[in-house]
Chain A
Amino acid sequence: MASKSARTRAGRKSNGFDDAIPVVHLKDIHKSYGDLEVIKGVELKARAGEVVTLIGSSGSGKSTLLRCANLLEVPQSGEIIFDGNPVHWKVKGSERVPADMNEVRLVRTNLSMVFQQFNLWSHLTILENVTEAPITVLGRSKMEAEQTGRKYLEKVGIVEKCDAYPAQLSGGQQQRAAIARALAMEPHAMLFDEPTSALDPELEAEVVQVIKKLAAEGRTMILVTHDMKLAQDVANHVVFLHQGVIEEQGNPSEVFGNTKSKRLIQFLSATVTA
Chain B
Amino acid sequence: MMGFCADPATVEGVKWWMCYLTTNTHISFYKSFLVVLALLALTAPLAMLLGFAGALARRSGIFPVSLIGHTYTSMVRGVPDIVFFLFIPIAMDQAFELTRHKILCPEVIGPVYQGNDFVVCTAAKLPLSTADAWVHTTYGFFLAAFGFAIVFGAFAANTIDGALSAVPKAQLETAAAYGMTKRQTFWQIHLPQMWGFALPGLSNLWMILVKATPLLFLLGVEDVVYWAGALGKTKTAAYFDYPHGDWRLGYFAMLLVFYLFVTWVSENFLSRMQAKFNTGQATIGGKKLPQGIAR
Contacts and interface: CB of A to CB of B under 8 A. Distances in A.
Interface of A: 3, 70, 72, 101, 105-106, 108-109, 112-113, 115, 117, 119, 121-123, 125, 132-133, 136-138, 161, 163-168, 181, 185
B179 A121 contact: no
B229 to A, nearest CB: 48
A164 B281 CA distance: 10
Interface of B: 170-171, 173-181, 184, 188-189, 192-193, 196, 277, 279-282, 286, 291-292, 294-295
A163 B294 contact: yes
A161 B279 CA distance: 15
A112 B178 CA distance: 6
B193 A122 contact: yes
Nearest to B171: A121
15 contacts: A72-B173, A105-B181, A109-B178, A112-B177, A112-B178, A113-B177, A115-B177, A117-B170, A119-B174, A121-B171, A122-B281, A125-B294, A163-B294, A165-B286, A181-B178
Contacts of B292: 168
B182 to A, nearest CB: 9
A70 to B, nearest CB: 6
Contact of A165 (B176, B189, B279): B279
Contacts of B175: 121, 133
B295 A108 contact: no
B178 A108 contact: yes
B193 A133 contact: no
A119 B294 contact: no
A136 B280 contact: no
Nearest to A185: B178
Given A115-B170, A121-B174, A167-B281, A108 B179 contact: yes
Contacts of A3: 179
A70 B177 CA distance: 7
B180 A133 contact: yes
B273 to A, nearest CB: 14
Contact of A136 (B174, B180, B192, B291): B180
Contacts of A101: 181
Contacts of B279: 165
A163 B295 contact: yes
Contacts of B180: 133, 136-137
A119 B181 contact: no
A112 B177 CA distance: 7
Contacts of A168: 280, 291-292, 294-295
A181 B279 CA distance: 21
Contacts of A70: 177
A100 to B, nearest CB: 13
B159 to A, nearest CB: 18
Contacts of A161: 295
B158 to A, nearest CB: 23
Contact of A164 (B174, B188, B280, B282): B280
A137 B179 contact: yes
Contacts of A133: 175, 178-180
Identify the interface centre among A106, A109, A123, A136: most chain B CB within 10 Å of its CB: A123
B179 A122 contact: no
Contacts of B176: 72, 108
Identify the interface centre among A70, A117, A137, A138: most chain B CB within 10 Å of its CB: A137
A192 to B, nearest CB: 12
A119 B280 contact: no
Contacts of A165: 279-281, 286, 294
A166 B178 CA distance: 18
A125 B192 CA distance: 13
B295 A136 contact: no
A165 B285 CA distance: 14
Contact of A122 (B171, B177, B178, B294): B171
Contacts of A72: 173, 176-177
B78 to A, nearest CB: 34
A181 B175 CA distance: 12
B171 A119 contact: yes
B179 A105 contact: yes
Contact of A137 (B178, B196, B282): B178
Contacts of A166: 280, 282
